[in-house]
Homo-oligomer: A and B are copies of this chain.
Amino acid sequence: MTRIDNRKSDQLRKWQFIPGFQRHPLASVLSVSGNTRVICAVSLEKSVPRWMKEQEVPGGWITAEYQMLPSSTGTRGERESTKGRISGRSAEIQRLVGRSLRAVVDLSKLPGLTLHVDCDVIDADGGTRCASISGASLALQIAAQKLLDDGVITENPIIARVAAVSVGLLEGNVLLDLCYTEDSAADVDMNIVMTDKGRFVEIQGSGEEATFSEKQMMEMIKVAKHGLIEIFALQDKALKQK
């Protein structure tokens, strides 16, 4: 099967992580996967949510927000602040990003601190949640290092790095890292979030117009793992160049 951009079925798009993208936050990474671009920023707040203060063991918190610029999509999207509410899709994605990051952080090592992760999509061409998670995890690692360097925290809270990639079923073929056109046509769309140690963090497989067998699921996971190895290598490269 020939893909729209001539990639092989198990081939990633061109991914790239550009640290230091913004001026103010603790850490800011421009996360690029093909034509998709997401700004992933980590900001520090020296307090925690109220429900957390009431807990016995003092800890920290990590929360994420996700939004697409109105101009990031083919047809302009209405601005969520103009509508006065976050879309269900954004809510779903930002919860996924937050959970994925918290799964690999020891919150007890961020006492009294909240890290706000903002994922703002500049250009959308499929896979924005995966680019968000992969870029945010890198930004989080950079931010944690800065907090250590500045003496704000004394132990590194990062247990592992995470990355995510999409994989789908289109006309019976397993395709890695779907662009928007492929994503729209796919029968099944799966997002795999893993750690750089090969463990799963989140698996979200969903068949909008179709269902899938266990065998197909296993094939998709296999292809995804293949792609994730490459993405972790690109995160490493970005860290070293920083």
Binding site for B on A (CB under 8 A): 22-25, 28, 35, 39, 41, 43, 45, 65, 67, 69-74, 76, 79-86, 88-92, 94-95, 99, 102-104, 116, 118, 120, 122-125, 160, 190, 195, 197-214, 217, 221
Contact = CB atoms under 8 A, between A and B. Distances in A.
Contacts of A116: 70, 76
Contacts of A198: 213
B207 A205 contact: no
Work out how many copies of this chain go into the complex. 6
Given A199-B212, A212-B200, A213-B200, A86 B81 contact: yes
A94 B88 contact: yes
Contacts of A125: 23
A74 to B, nearest CB: 5
Contacts of A221: 214
A202 B131 CA distance: 21
Chain A contact residues: helix, strand, loop or mixed:
mixed
B207 A201 contact: yes
A62 B121 CA distance: 24
Given A91-B91, A200-B217, A84 B84 contact: yes
A61 to B, nearest CB: 13
Nearest to A87: B91
